[in-house]
Amino acid sequence: MAFSPKDMDGFLPLLSTTDTKAKLTIAMNLINYLGDPDNTIECSDIGQFIDSLVPWMQSSNNKVSQNGIDAMTYLVDRMAVDFRPYISTVLPPIIDRLGDSKEVVREKAQLLILKLMERDVITPQALFEKLTPAFSHKNGKIREEVMNCLQTTLTE
């Protein structure tokens, strides 16, 4: 199985794999693909692509989770305001990743949230309205990281 497709449609069937090693290889190729501004992000079904990437962000394997968040961050960066319809799909898993035991995963989740605001996908006010329930989340780490996100937003 080739893990190095030439377009977004080529990556779509690969996102459903359950093999962790394959996921890591696919993720690196996807991140490299999305990081190159010359590569198109047109896809026959970008909604399905994003939906297929969400389980990667939710993975219990921190490297898979981290790569899923990185790929989503690149998508947000490339799609900008066109990413708006997918906020409700992506935001809850990102909030959950704010409580991850690995600091690098929490940092990547923070960066994705900040990228959503930076690329005008969502206004800071609308974002914090969606983040308000996280301030009373049962996981104290999530509460702390949402507060850190608020601080970062106010200082930038």
Fold designation for 8-155: Leucine-rich Repeat Variant (1.25.10)
12 pLDDT more than 80: yes
Nearest Cα to 133, choosing from 100, 102, 91? 91
In this prediction, residue 3 has a pLDDT band, given cuts at 50, 70 and 90, of: low
Rounded CA separation 95/90 (Å): 9
Domains of the chain, by residue range, sit at 8-155
Express as a percent the part of the chain with pLDDT over 90.
90
pLDDT in tens, 56-79: 999 999 999 999 999 999 999 999
Instruction: Count how many residues are written for the chain.
Output: 156
Extract the tokens encoding 60. Answer: 């219990």
pLDDT at residue 154, rounded to an integer = 82
Quote the pTM value: 0.93
